[in-house]
Amino acid sequence: MITTKNCIIRLSRYKNALYRLQALGFVKFFSDNLADAVGVTAAVVRKDFSVFGISGNKKGGYQIETLLEKLNSILGKDRLQKVVVIGAGHIGSALMRYRGFEKEGIKIAAGFDIDPSKVNRSSPVPILPLEEIKGFIKSHGIKIAVLTVPDIAAQEVVDIISASGIKGVLNFAPLRLKSPEGCIINNVNLEIELENLIYFVNVMEKTK
Ligand code: ATP
């Protein structure tokens, strides 16, 4: 089965759109409805579903409830996912304060920092010294880390945490990191995203 990152991003979008349809009182939907809500073609929806063995009834459509269960299970959202944040600077602290992850079944179990002045064991998301990360990851069964350390520290931290059992890293440091074996790195580069937007806004303004 070949699944691309974009395919999985679409599954998350289908799931969110289905929750919106359910909130509006719908019980069933057709691939056209979902395609419109997500901005893809119905053929793409059907192809994505077929990759995961989801089949609908052409005439009757799909049951929202059943499909949500299936999508949540595929996306690993049928159980709480605990993650850690490494680097309690501006971005890391903002993520730890953000309450929106919990409704998505994602809990930031702790933050970690190398700077002893950032340690705060009694904050709602405790901030612990980096030396404790290995034991914490093991005892809490954590596989995902969000990396918000400065770029010069990022590769070293990735190497340490992957050796401690982390399998997936969401990297906010603005550089490409080498993935240690058995560890997936997804990058969020806010500067590049903004630069990209600035470019296209400028092009749009010039062609007006
Ligand atoms: P941000 O990039 O989140 O805006 P900032 O500008 O406040 O953060 P940075 O210098 O980017 O600060 O550092 C982010 C945090 O990462 C700091 O709290 C810093 O102590 C921490 N940090 C730096 N090196 C490491 C490391 N090797 N391991 C863990 N934490 C680290």
DSSP conformational letter for 78: S
Where does the pLDDT of residue 86 fall: very low under 50, low under 70, confident under 90, or very high at 90 and above? Answer: very high
State in Å: Cα 140 to ligand 1 middle.
23
Residue 184's DSSP bridge partners are 168
pLDDT tier at 82 (50, 70, 90 boundaries)? very high
Residues 69 and 86 in one domain: no
- Nearest CA residue ID for atom 26, ligand 1: 114
For residues 168 and 145, the answer to whether their CB atoms sit within 8 Å is yes
Q: Which atom of ligand 1 is nearest to the CA of 92?
A: 3
Give the distance (Å) from ligand 1 centre to CA of residue 160: 16
Q: Is the per-residue pLDDT at 58 higher than 70?
A: no
Task: Report the alpha-carbon distance of residue 71 to residue 106 in Å, rounded.
Answer: 16
Is residue 82 classed as helix, strand or coil in its secondary structure?
A: strand
Average pLDDT score, the chain:
92
Sign of CA dihedral 125, 97, 111, 76: positive
**Mean pLDDT of all residues in 177-188:** 94
Q: Are residues 90 and 51 in the same domain?
A: no
Average pLDDT of the residues in 119-124:
96
Ligand 1 proximity of 92 Cβ (cutoff 6 Å): yes
Q: How many structural domains compose the chain?
A: 2
Q: How many A from CA of 208 to the centre of ligand 1?
A: 42
Q: Is the predicted pLDDT of residue 63 greater than 70, yes or no? A: yes
Residue 199 lies in a domain: no
**What pLDDT, on a 0 to 100 scale, did the predictor assign at position 76?**
87
Distance CA 172, CA 154 (A): 9
Considering the domain architecture, whether residues 59 and 153 belong to the same structural domain is answered as: no
Q: Which of 91, 113, 161 to mutate to test the pocket of ligand 1 (most atoms within 8 A of CB)?
A: 113
Mean pLDDT, residues 115-123: 97
Predicted pLDDT at 31: 86
Residues in the chain: 208
Distance 119 CA to ligand 1 centre (A): 12
Query: Are 70 and 86 part of one and the same domain?
Result: no
> Does residue 118 surpass a pLDDT of 80?
yes
Let me know whether 105 and 27 are in one domain: no
* CATH number of the domain within which 101 lies: 3.40.50.720
Pocket test for ligand 1, best of 85, 91, 114 (most atoms within 8 A of CB): 114
Whole-angstrom Cα distance, residue 39 to residue 54? 20
> Does residue 204 lie within any of the structural domains?
no
Contact by Cβ (8 Å): 87, 149? yes
